[in-house]
Amino acid sequence: MHLPTEEHIKRDRSQRIKAKAEALGFLSCGIAKAEFLAEEAPHLEQWLKNNYHGQMTYMENNFDMRLDPRLLVDGAKSVISLAYNYYQELDRPADSYKIALYAQGEDYHFVVKEKVRELLAYIQEEIGEVSGRAFADSAPILEHAWAKKAGIGWVGKNSLTLSKQKGSFFFLSELILDLDLAYDQPMQTDHCGQCTRCIDACPTQAILPNKTVNGSQCISYFTIELKEQIPTEMKGKFDDWIFGCDVCQEVCPWNRFSLPTDQQRFVGHEKINQFSKKEWQEITEEVFQEVFRKSPIKRTKFSGLKRNIDFIKPVKYSCDIE
């Protein structure tokens, strides 16, 4: 009788983890060795030096931690990268404002993190004493770098993770463990080719060459992260987006393979995409609190959403004399 080798045990554990991830509804699951991200370090440093983070000062914090998962979990050996589908087909009225697809339903921080924690609990039950932490856009982690290392996809020109089979409308999350596992091959190929649709379509020219996005020029930054008034030079460039922006994903050819999510908690509130522009402009704080009670849109607060709407609605001039 041959006892299983260490490699066999690691492969078996990895396969069971991936099967459980699929059962929990994850679109993809890949595993990479927990190590310092040497290739990403100079890019992150230059991105910050260029002030592409704008007023997102939190991006300046924990520089080393962003590059080394072992600083987040003592003795970390594996990073499990997970993708969760949020795509849905919307029937927006022509006379309405736009909200990014990821913000249509419940806040993904809670929905996805619940799933990641379930996966961690499964691992601890099945394998034994394993220390780890679950993350869903909730810590200084370079998510797209880990998705690439885990073989989930490549980093597109819009800086998002892309998959030939699944597009890019998915949330990324991570599970960092002090457990040795069988590691997947990093994604080596880039299937964007000579396509520049996302660069050409970006309303504010925020997408730069070399897979770099000037975050401080992105519509998502202006409508979510920026707390002060939106610069006047951006007037007329928002294409009716009042929270986030999906333009670079909408024009990406790989997203023709996106399939609607079966996670009902991500499906948009029935009122969100039925409001006319007039109704958006007249929204009250009471309606805001009711409709967006569990939504990511609460991040911008009522005052921030009103600022966004006021910024993009056309100015009306009246010559009426009473």
Could you please report the per-residue DSSP string of 139-192?
A: SS--HHHHHHHTTS-EE-TTSSEEBTTTBS-EEEEEEEESS--PPPPP----TT
148, 154 in Cβ contact below 8 A? Answer: yes
The number of beta carbons lying within 10 Å of the beta carbon of residue 2 is 5
CA distances, 121 to each of 22, 114, 131, 247, 319 (Å) = 15, 11, 10, 37, 67
Q: What is the mean pLDDT of the chain?
A: 93
Q: Which domains does the chain have, with CATH numbers?
A: 6-93+101-177 (3.40.109), 197-259+268-311 (no CATH)
142/127 Cα distance (integer angstroms): 27
In the residue annotation, 262 being an active-site residue is answered as no
Residue with tokens 């002030």: 51
Strand residues in 22-131 grouped as ranges (E): 28-33, 78-85, 98-99
Name the pTM for this structure: 0.93
* Number of alpha carbons in the 13 Å side-chain half-sphere of residue 120: 21
Which candidate in 12, 74, 137, 320 is catalytic? Answer: 137
> pLDDT tens for residues 129-187?
899 999 998 889 999 999 999 999 999 999 999 999 999 999 999 999 999 999 999 99
The number of beta carbons lying within 10 Å of the beta carbon of residue 124 is 15
Query: pLDDT confidence of 319, banded at 50, 70, 90?
Result: very low
